[in-house]
């Protein structure tokens, strides 16, 4: 799993460990935070490991998978959760900002999926890739062009990989709406935002976890984008 040291990513990693998986995850910016996540995971799954990886760099991704292969002999599930997110007013987008968002979100997801598929297609059992995209792929958000483009690209990659590697690899994407995170002190429910959601509440990490569990239990779904957004996209 990439990006498991983030707030939502750590919730997902802990939940997956609770389902009996040994978790191998990447971190990038904070070893201290990642170590805390790993300690929690190891209470449930003692063999779990972590490795530093900047997913915007293909060499880092290859090294992370080499480390994985040195420690484990099978790959059942990959979740691509590593992501950058910040606003970029359209007229002022710089090449550095574009690269930061698109290389981490889209390029990083592609090469992670590619490395995973190389392992999975040689296995004799069905394995799964779950990409984390975003409902911004279906919306026109002001000041988030590179970010939303990167997430739309992830959704199309999901379909491409699903078709290419069926029936042995099931590839799907989860597109969250606005999710409240316990570690996000600045995130305050806003009435205007909530009023855009049919179910009149923000999402919870558990909503994402339940969707992952659904995909883990299904063996007849591939190439799909599942929007977990409380009806935000209803017109």
Query: What percent of the chain stands above pLDDT 70?
Result: 96
Closest CA to 215 of 177, 170, 176: 170
Q: What angle do CA 160, 138, 77 make, to 5 degrees?
A: 40
Residue 195 burial (CB < 10 Å; 0-12/13-18/19+)?
exposed
Bigger pLDDT: 106 vs 188: 106
Spatial CB neighbours of 47, under 8 Å, sequence gap ≥ 6: 22
What mean pLDDT value characterizes the chain?
A: 94
Do residues 96 and 45 touch, judged by C-beta distance below 8 A? no
Token pair for 93: 């987008």
The whole-number average pLDDT for the span 198-218 is 96
Look at the block and give the residue holding tokens 């990886």: 53
The whole-number average pLDDT for the span 150-157 is 98
Token pair for 82: 């590593």
Spell out the domains of the chain, with CATH numbers in brackets.
7-228 (3.40.50.720)
Using DSSP's 3-state secondary structure scheme, residue 85 falls into: coil
Q: How far is it, in rounded angstroms, from Cα 141 to Cα 62?
A: 33
Buried b (16+ CB within 10 A) or exposed e, 155-175: bebbbebbeebeeebbbbbbb
Q: Please write the tens of the pLDDT for every residue from 10-63.
A: 999 999 999 999 999 999 988 999 999 999 999 999 999 999 999 999 999 999
Bigger pLDDT: 5 vs 159: 159
Closest CA to 64 of 118, 2, 117: 2
Q: How far is it, in rounded angstroms, from Cα 186 to Cα 52?
A: 27
Q: Please write the tens of the pLDDT for every residue from 179-202.
A: 987 555 455 557 888 999 999 999
CA distances (Å), 12 to each of 6, 132, 163, 174, in order? 10, 11, 26, 12
């Amino acid at each position: 799993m990439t990006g498991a040291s983030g707030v939502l990513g750590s919730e997902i990693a802990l939940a997956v460990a609770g389902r009996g998986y040994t978790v191998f995850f990447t971190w990038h910016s904070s070893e201290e935070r990642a170590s805390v996540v790993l300690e929690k995971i190891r209470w449930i799954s003692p063999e779990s490991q972590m490795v530093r990886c900047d997913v915007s760099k293909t060499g880092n991704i290859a090294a992370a998978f080499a480390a994985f292969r040195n420690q484990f002999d099978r790959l059942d599930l990959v979740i691509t959760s590593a992501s950058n997110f910040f606003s970029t007013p359209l007229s002022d987008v710089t090449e550095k900002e574009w690269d930061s968002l698109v290389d981490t979100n889209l390029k990083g997801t592609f090469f992670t999926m590619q490395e995973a598929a190389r392992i999975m297609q040689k296995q004799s059992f069905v394995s799964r890739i779950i990409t984390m995209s975003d409902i911004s792929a279906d919306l026109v958000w002001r000041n988030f062009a590179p970010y939303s483009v990167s997430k739309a690209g992830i959704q199309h990659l999901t379909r491409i990989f699903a078709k290419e590697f069926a029936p042995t690899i099931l590839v799907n994407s989860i597109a969250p709406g606005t999710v409240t995170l316990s570690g996000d002190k600045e995130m305050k429910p806003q009435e205007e935002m909530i009023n855009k959601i049919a179910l009149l509440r923000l999402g919870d990490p558990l909503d994402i976890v339940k969707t992952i569990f659904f995909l883990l239990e299904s063996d007849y779904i591939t190439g799909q984008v599942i929007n977990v957004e409380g009806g935000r996209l209803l017109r």
